[in-house]
């Protein structure tokens, strides 16, 4: 069991979450591990696959009526691509969908992403249980 | 901070390697057969492929490196060469790797972020300015667009008057593992295999000292595969390429001499040493057993390694110097032909001059001070090493058998079976770390409760560098002869529709005409379509 092994109901039961890979980054194992962990925590997970544009990700988020979007970036392009995805969501009047970011995000860039409205930022060395708990806290 | 003691308190509790092999408390001759005995350079090459090991020739020190512009990268290469590096390894940016020109909307945010932008021959000429292509070997970590970058390298040598047969180096050119782990695929599997066969067969004639493929397990390993799986998947991919090349009329006795391999070295010391000894033996046996290869040189398993990757941590980054040192020793004792030692700040950023130099110094110290390179296969005959070598070879064969049972590696990749296996393995690895069953110092044990020391500011890519790439790209497009470009691209497009053609001469012509990576990929894509990723 991943998270909250002691709790009764899975912490993300009934939630729909989009896990997305914006841009050209081919490192997808972190996104896949998170997707599997979210699934184990009860969420219904939609994974975009690699090389998606911010517009595409926003459209899928709206079409699939998701409760949250998780963006995975390890290519150093997080500042540009997160900003574009947030802006695409707003253009589709979906700016209220919580956005999470994971990957190689240097500390110095985190305030900028949080200021865009990103709810939480996760890095590879965080325990999965902590990631799940943080997502559950925001989606509560 | 409390942590589990790694030494089991109960001596009857089994201790296993990360690949799951149970270790004896004390190894004796009863644990292994005599395979490891005998001499190096004799079939099946357990003890190495050269009779004189590293005394005849040290491994190549090849630091993966590329900054946004060709000019800065050229400077960094000269910096590394001046400090004793013995080969070059070019890191390319994602647009170049995925086949987009820098001005493509999909490419713009990614230009120059993880390596150098090489969109056309003019950039390649700048990249190697003042570097003698006939004297230094160069490795390109390039896959989806490998045939194009190789063609560009040949065109660059042509323009500089360097004879093609003097070129040495490697293109990674291993598309199968891109579908599984690294993600820079462009075309569907079948035409991609054709492009690889084209480049290998062409290279055997045009650049006989150049390695046209480096079949890589490194990326599936870093994605989560065990050491056994890393080798098994890679050898399976290797056999798929051999089959493809034979189907295209290639002579295995000839092309097999130019197949090379590339792996990660992570932390479990003896497993890492033994995976190389085991795979070297298994590859020779497979080529001899399945294809009847007779020429001993065609049975040689030649490989480069990277030390670092997933084994490095963002927490307490200086600890990574120690990790890379241990890994370098494992690579040497396993018999690697080239070594890249990652910089301690790899988990945070592209290396600075300071961290890049320290990484190079790490392997220089192992090479010139530790003395471990003075005797061939110094661990050969150790009961534990021979036991693990035997067991890992058997385990690799077992995993390869599972792939065969599924219907072969190409099917396993097209249907996403292998990708799903790696994802599950990665989740298992993460859970083992979260649950402290696998100890990572500074991450789940011996953390600094007072918080991390500031790792220092991560240098951001200067927007002026990106602008320079855009400007140079437009300038080349203005300068070239558009009719000549169109002529070479049209011929490429026609040849792509005919499976009997080898595309490399057409790509070399395109490069000479300063056609761009995006233009060449565009023509091929319009013939072949793109890869459709299987679902999770």
Interface A-B, measured as beta-carbon pairs within 8 A, has a size of: 91
Tens digit of each residue's pLDDT (9 = 90 or more) over A17-35: 999 999 999 999 999 999 9
Residue B59 has pLDDT above 90, yes or no: yes
Supply the pLDDT for residue B450.
73
Please check whether residue A8 touches B, CB under 8 A.
no
* Contact between chains at A51 and B98 (C-beta distance less than 8 A): yes
A44 in a domain, yes or no?
Answer: yes
* Contact between chains at A108 and B224 (C-beta distance less than 8 A): no
Taking alpha carbons only, the member of B200, B221, B405 closest to residue B305 is: B221
For B21-174, strand residue ranges (E) read 60-65, 87-90, 138-140, 169-171
Residue B1 has pLDDT above 50, yes or no: no
B251 in a domain, yes or no?
Answer: yes
Q: How many domains does chain B contain in total?
A: 1
Q: Which of B426, B443, B461 sits opposite A125 (nearest CB)?
A: B443
A3 in a domain, yes or no?
Answer: no
Domain that holds residue B75: 50-434
* Contact between chains at B183 and A23 (C-beta distance less than 8 A): no
B490, containing H or E segment: helix B482-496
**Cα Rg of chain B, angstroms:** 23
B214 in a domain, yes or no?
Answer: yes
Domain that holds residue A69: 16-139
**Cα-based angle B110, B116, B121 (whole degrees, multiple of 5):** 115
**Strand B138-140 and strand B60-65: pairing?**
unpaired
B504 in a domain, yes or no?
Answer: no
Please check whether residue B422 touches A, CB under 8 A.
yes
Average pLDDT rounded to a whole number, residues B42-65: 96
Contacts of B430 in chain A (CB under 8 A): 33, 128
* Contact between chains at B348 and A104 (C-beta distance less than 8 A): yes
CA distances from B160 to B29, B139, B184, B480 (A): 58, 19, 30, 18
Q: Residue A55: which CATH number?
A: 3.40.50.280
The whole-angstrom separation of Cα B178 and Cα B175 is 5
Tens digit of each residue's pLDDT (9 = 90 or more) over B255-283: 999 999 999 999 999 999 999 999 999 99
Q: Which alpha helices (H) appear in B182-251, and where do they start and end?
A: 189-206, 218-223, 227-247
Contacts of A129 in chain B (CB under 8 A): 434
Tens digit of each residue's pLDDT (9 = 90 or more) over A39-87: 999 999 999 999 999 999 999 999 999 999 999 999 999 999 999 999 9
Work out the pLDDT band at B456, boundaries 50, 70, 90: low
With helix as H, strand as E and coil as C, how does B90-123 read? ECECHHHHHCCCCCCCCCHHHCCCCCECCCCHHH
Answer yes or no: are the C-beta atoms of B509 and B202 closer than 8 Å.
Answer: no
Q: Which of residues 48-107 of A touch B (CB under 8 A)?
A: 49-51, 53, 75-77, 80-81, 84, 104, 106-107
Q: How far is A140 from chain B (nearest CA, A)?
A: 24
Q: How many domains does chain A contain in total?
A: 1
The whole-angstrom separation of Cα B145 and Cα B102 is 14
For A60, the 3-state DSSP assignment is: helix
Q: Residue B260: which CATH number?
A: 3.20.20.240
CA distances from B348 to A102, B315, B411, B482 (A): 14, 10, 36, 43
B263, containing H or E segment: strand B259-265
**Strand A44-47 and strand B87-90: pairing?**
unpaired
Contacts of B174 in chain A (CB under 8 A): none
Q: What's the mean pLDDT when you consider all of chain B? A: 94
Which pTM was predicted? 0.95
For B339, the 3-state DSSP assignment is: strand
A134 in a domain, yes or no?
Answer: yes
Residue B451 has pLDDT above 80, yes or no: no
End-to-end CA distance of chain A: 21
The whole-angstrom separation of Cα B288 and Cα B278 is 16
ipTM associated with this complex? 0.92
Tens digit of each residue's pLDDT (9 = 90 or more) over B416-447: 999 999 999 999 999 999 999 999 999 999 99
Contacts of A35 in chain B (CB under 8 A): 536
Residue B3 has pLDDT above 50, yes or no: no
């Amino acid at each position: 069991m991943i998270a909250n092994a002691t709790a009764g109901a899975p912490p993300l039961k009934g939630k729909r979450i989009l896990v997305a890979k914006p841009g050209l980054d081919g490192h997808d194992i972190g996104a896949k591990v998170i997707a599997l962990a979210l699934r184990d925590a009860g969420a219904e997970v939609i994974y975009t696959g690699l090389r998606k544009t911010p517009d595409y990700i926003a459209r899928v988020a709206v079409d699939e009526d998701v409760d949250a979007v998780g963006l995975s970036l390890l290519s150093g392009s997080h500042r540009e691509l997160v900003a574009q995805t947030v802006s695409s969501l707003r253009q589709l009047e979906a700016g209220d969908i919580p956005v999470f970011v994971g990957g190689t995000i240097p500390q110095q860039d985190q305030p900028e992403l949080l200021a865009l409205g990103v709810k939480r930022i996760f890095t590879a060395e965080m325990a999965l249980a902590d990631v799940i708990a943080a997502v559950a806290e925001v989606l509560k | 901070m409390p942590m589990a003691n790694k030494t089991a308190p109960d001596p009857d509790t089994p201790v296993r390697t990360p690949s799951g092999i149970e270790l004896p408390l004390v190894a004796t001759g009863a644990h292994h057969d005599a395979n490891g005995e005998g001499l190096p350079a004799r079939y099946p090459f357990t003890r190495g492929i050269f009779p004189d090991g590293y005394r005849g020739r040290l491994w190549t020190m090849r630091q993966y490196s590329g900054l946004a512009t060709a000019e800065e990268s050229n400077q960094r290469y000269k910096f590394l060469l001046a400090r004793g590096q013995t080969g070059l390894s070019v890191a390319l940016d994602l647009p170049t790797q995925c086949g987009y020109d820098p001005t493509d909307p999909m490419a713009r945010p990614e230009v120059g972020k993880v390596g150098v932008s090489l969109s056309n021959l003019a950039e390649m000429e700048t990249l190697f300015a003042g570097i003698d292509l006939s004297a230094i070997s160069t490795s390109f970590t390039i896959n989806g667009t490998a045939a194009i970058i190789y063609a560009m390298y040949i065109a660059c040598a042509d323009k500089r008057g360097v004879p093609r047969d003097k070129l040495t180096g490697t293109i990674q050119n291993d598309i199968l593992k891109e579908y599984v782990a690294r993600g820079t695929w462009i075309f569907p599997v079948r035409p991609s295999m054709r492009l690889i066969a084209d480049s290998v067969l062409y290279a055997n004639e045009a650049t006989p000292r150049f390695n046209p493929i480096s079949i890589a397990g490194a990326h599936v390993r870093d994605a989560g595969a065990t050491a056994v799986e890393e080798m098994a998947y890679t050898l399976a991919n290797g056999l798929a390429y051999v089959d493809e090349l034979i189907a295209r009329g290639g002579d295995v006795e000839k092309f097999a001499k130019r197949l090379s391999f590339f792996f990660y070295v992570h932390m479990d010391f003896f497993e890492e040493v033994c995976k190389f000894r085991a795979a070297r033996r298994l590859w020779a046996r497979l080529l001899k057993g399945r294809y009847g290869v007779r020429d001993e040189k065609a049975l040689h398993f030649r490989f480069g390694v990277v030390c670092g990757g997933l084994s490095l941590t963002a927490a307490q980054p200086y600890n990574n110097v120690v990790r890379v040192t241990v890994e370098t020793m494992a690579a040497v004792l396993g018999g690697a032909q080239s070594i890249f030692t990652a910089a301690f700040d790899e988990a945070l950023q592209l290396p600075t001059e300071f961290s890049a130099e320290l990484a190079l110094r790490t392997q220089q110290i192992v090479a010139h001070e530790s003395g471990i390179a003075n005797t061939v296969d110094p661990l050969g005959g150790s009961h534990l090493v021979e036991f693990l070598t035997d067991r890992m070879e058997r385990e690799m064969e077992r995993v390869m058998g599972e792939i065969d049972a599924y219907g072969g590696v190409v099917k396993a990749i097209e249907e996403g079976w292998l990708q799903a296996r790696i994802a599950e393995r990665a989740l298992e690895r993460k859970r083992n770390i979260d649950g402290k069953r696998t100890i990572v110092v500074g991450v789940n044990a011996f953390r600094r409760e007072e918080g991390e020391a500031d790792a220092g500011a991560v240098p951001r890519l200067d927007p002026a560098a990106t602008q320079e790439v855009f400007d140079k790209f437009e300038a080349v497009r203005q300068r070239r002869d558009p009719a000549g470009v169109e002529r070479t691209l049209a011929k490429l497009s026609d040849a792509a529709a005919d499976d009997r053609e080898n595309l490399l001469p057409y790509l070399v012509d395109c490069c000479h005409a300063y056609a761009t990576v995006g233009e060449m990929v565009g023509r091929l894509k319009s013939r072949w379509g793109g890869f459709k990723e299987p679902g999770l």
